Amino acid sequence: MTTPTKKRRRILIGVGGGIAAYKVCSVIRHFTESGHDVRVVPTPAALEFVGKATFEALSGNPVSTTVFDDVDEVAHVRLGQGADLVIIAPATADLMARAAQGRADDLLTASLLTVRCPVLFVPAMHTEMWEHPATQANIATLREHGSTVMTPASGRLTATDSGRGRLPDPQEIALIGELLLDRADALPYDLAGVRVLISAGGTREPLDPVRYLGNHSSGKQGFALARAAAQRGASVTVVAGSTTDPGDPAGVHIVRISNAQELSEEMTKRAADADVVIMAAAVADFRPVAVADAKIKKGDQGPAPIELTTNPDILRGLVEARDDGRIPSETVIVGFAAETGDETGGVLDHGRAKLARKGCDLLVVNAVGDGKAFGTEDNTGWLLSAKGDETALPFGSKTLMSSRILDEVRQLVPDGPGA
Ligand SMILES: Cc1cc2nc3c(=O)[nH]c(=O)nc-3n(C[C@H](O)[C@H](O)[C@H](O)COP(=O)(O)O)c2cc1C
């Protein structure tokens, strides 16, 4: 989960007294192994769950919970002032209440009053605590104060309970933290109430019970978009084919499909209830005409020829559905074009032609091949709009690229800032 260091930054990791405190050790490790200077500030309750020695050994720095240690260094002011990023995980209901009120009754909350860098709260608690109006009001206050509050995952909670309120995967916390280091304003809470439907990953077109025609898509870009949209408040569904992304994004509804026809059916059905549809999946253009019931044998004559037929054009189909009123006319439709240059034109030329052919509102164009885009952590490309705007998307993490794409999408959503 470690990514190469860009620049050594000062990361303050505040740990609350929740059962998920042990998982935050992986987040600490991620940032130290990435070369950053990590200071861990637990609450006194956090030390009931994980010992001070663990935090000191993992961070390589001393650990205190009180403003009365290292008084000569005025730690309660300096730690916050010097931070480039603060991550609070697990952010307990109690800790968020104290932070929302501006209390300063331990070293962590005192430090929070002096920080001027991005602050990421990662809540984890039982569903009832999460849903309580007091907790939700405190979260709204923290967002008003400029903090990012992550949407929790659903799943197993303490003891035998399960539901909403689980700490997101440590790798996802690290990705969102890295995003805020790259771009402090990457996750405004501006998509609340917006329904976003995303396709991600590759399709597999079956040949027989054991073989398929597939592609190299990892699903990382589609999942990164889902992650960023969910953290901006959107209600997100991902229709996912084959993916190698290790964790499902927190707070996102995932529907699994295998081949292009299944993807087409799911996207067409679900698009009617979406405000934004993003086609980030790598969909096979062709599929075998016949799928053998039994494994195809090698035979004496060499391989039998495979006859292919064309798959539905899902992106074009969605635009047509919008044109003829099967999905609402204000639905924003975004396509992706993974292109390689050839003798007929460069990557951008092919992207422009695809935008004209498909009729979507935005098209993200990336160069693929030679290890680019497929399966990588980073991406780059262009964002083309139906209005004729062309924006270069600078090289960076797929999550960073997603935040820039969503900025443009937000402008097009009815009642959005540019609508
Ligand atoms: C076993 C156990 C697990 C707990 N897990 C959580 C939790 O996941 N989330 C939460 O908000 N509080 C949880 N609590 C309650 C907090 O520990 C309690 O509210 C404490 O005051 C939090 O202190 P802090 O916010 O200063 O860290 C748990 C308590 C116990 C005993």
Pocket test for ligand 1, best of 94, 108, 142 (most atoms within 8 A of CB): 94
| 357 and 234 in a common domain | yes
Q: What is the mean pLDDT of residues 320-324?
A: 96
Pair 380, 396: CB distance under 8 Å: yes
CATH of the domain at 388: 3.40.50.10300
pLDDT tens, residue by residue, 183-206? 999 999 999 999 999 999 999 999
| 364 and 407 in a common domain | yes
Whether residue 233 is contained in a domain is answered as yes
Which of 137, 154, 182 marks a domain boundary?
182
pLDDT computed for residue 371 by the predictor = 57
Whether residue 188 is contained in a domain is answered as no
Active-site residue set? 215
**For residue 1, is pLDDT > 50?**
no
Which of 137, 161, 182 marks a domain boundary?
182
Q: How far is the CA of 17 from the centre of ligand 1 (A)?
A: 5
Ligand 1, residue 157: give the atom nearest the CA: 8
| 106 and 253 in a common domain | no
Number of residues in the chain: 419
| 242 and 388 in a common domain | yes
Which of 182, 212, 237 marks a domain boundary?
182
Q: How far is the CA of 92 from the centre of ligand 1 (A)?
A: 6
Bridge partners, residue 12, by sequence: 39, 86
CATH of the domain at 128: 3.40.50.1950
Q: Would you tell me how many other CB atoms lie within 10 Å of the CB of residue 10?
A: 17
Pair 382, 392: CB distance under 8 Å: yes
Bridge partners, residue 236, by sequence: 196
Closest CA to 201 of 211, 214, 188: 214
pLDDT computed for residue 419 by the predictor = 54
Among protein residues, the one with the nearest Cα to ligand 1's atom 15 is 18
**For residue 365, is pLDDT > 60?**
yes
Q: Is the dihedral of CA 169, 174, 180, 182 positive or negative?
A: negative
- pLDDT level of residue 5 (50, 70, 90 thresholds): very low
Whether residue 190 is contained in a domain is answered as no
Q: How far is the CA of 247 from the centre of ligand 1 (A)?
A: 25
| 209 and 158 in a common domain | no
| 110 and 80 in a common domain | yes
- pLDDT level of residue 370 (50, 70, 90 thresholds): low
pLDDT computed for residue 221 by the predictor = 92
- pLDDT level of residue 155 (50, 70, 90 thresholds): confident
Closest CA to 228 of 163, 164, 156, 276: 276
Pair 30, 2: CB distance under 8 Å: yes
Residue 123: cis peptide before it, omega within 30 degrees of 0: no
pLDDT computed for residue 305 by the predictor = 81
Domain count, the chain: 2
pLDDT computed for residue 159 by the predictor = 72
Question: Between the CA of residue 209 and those of 134, 205, 243, 283, what are the distances in Å?
Answer: 54, 11, 20, 20
pLDDT computed for residue 417 by the predictor = 59
pLDDT computed for residue 379 by the predictor = 83
Instruction: Find the range with the poorest average confidence among 7-11, 349-353, 415-419.
Output: 415-419
pLDDT tens, residue by residue, 109-146? 999 999 999 999 999 999 999 999 999 999 999 999 99
| 212 and 162 in a common domain | no
Scanning 49-203, the segments in alpha helix (DSSP H) are: 52-59, 75-81, 93-101, 107-112, 127-131, 133-144, 170-182
Question: Between the CA of residue 221 and those of 180, 326, 398, what are the distances in Å?
Answer: 17, 28, 6
Among protein residues, the one with the nearest Cα to ligand 1's atom 11 is 92
Give the Cα separation of 291 and 272 in Å (integer).
31
Phi then psi for 105, rounded to 5 degrees? -95, 10
**Range of 341's domain?**
195-412
Which 8-state DSSP code applies to residue 14? Answer: E
pLDDT computed for residue 291 by the predictor = 93
Q: Would you tell me how many other CB atoms lie within 10 Å of the CB of residue 335?
A: 26
* H or E segment to which residue 240 belongs: strand 235-240
pLDDT computed for residue 3 by the predictor = 47
Q: Is the dihedral of CA 106, 185, 166, 54 positive or negative?
A: negative
**For residue 389, is pLDDT > 60?**
yes
Phi then psi for 123, rounded to 5 degrees? -70, 150
Six-digit token pair at 128?
């009832």
Q: Is the dihedral of CA 94, 95, 96, 102 positive or negative?
A: positive
| 379 and 293 in a common domain | yes
Q: Strands, E, within 324-397: which ranges? A: 332-339, 362-367, 378-385, 390-397
| 372 and 309 in a common domain | yes
Q: Measuring from each residue's beta carbon to the nearest atom of ligand 1, which residues come in under 6 Å?
A: 16-20, 43, 45-46, 90, 92-95, 124-125, 129, 158
Q: What is the mean pLDDT of residues 388-413?
A: 94
| 304 and 168 in a common domain | no
**For residue 342, is pLDDT > 80?**
no
Q: Would you tell me how many other CB atoms lie within 10 Å of the CB of residue 132?
A: 14
Mean predicted lDDT score pLDDT of the chain: 92
Q: How far is the CA of 33 from the centre of ligand 1 (A)?
A: 28
The reply to whether the predicted model has a pTM over 0.85 is: yes
Whether residue 36 is contained in a domain is answered as yes
pLDDT computed for residue 54 by the predictor = 98
**For residue 351, is pLDDT > 80?**
yes
Whether residue 418 is contained in a domain is answered as no
pLDDT tens, residue by residue, 190-247? 999 999 999 999 999 999 999 999 998 889 999 999 999 999 999 999 999 999 876 7
pLDDT computed for residue 375 by the predictor = 58
pLDDT computed for residue 4 by the predictor = 46
Q: Which amino acid is located at 285 in the chain?
A: D
Whether residue 27 is contained in a domain is answered as yes
| 311 and 245 in a common domain | yes
Bridge partners, residue 392, by sequence: 382
| 98 and 232 in a common domain | no
Q: What is the mean pLDDT of residues 36-59?
A: 98
Pocket test for ligand 1, best of 13, 15, 19 (most atoms within 8 A of CB): 19
Among protein residues, the one with the nearest Cα to ligand 1's atom 19 is 94
Whether residue 1 is contained in a domain is answered as no
pLDDT computed for residue 252 by the predictor = 96
Give the Cα separation of 405 and 280 in Å (integer).
12
Whether residue 313 is contained in a domain is answered as yes
Q: How far is the CA of 48 from the centre of ligand 1 (A)?
A: 10
pLDDT computed for residue 194 by the predictor = 97
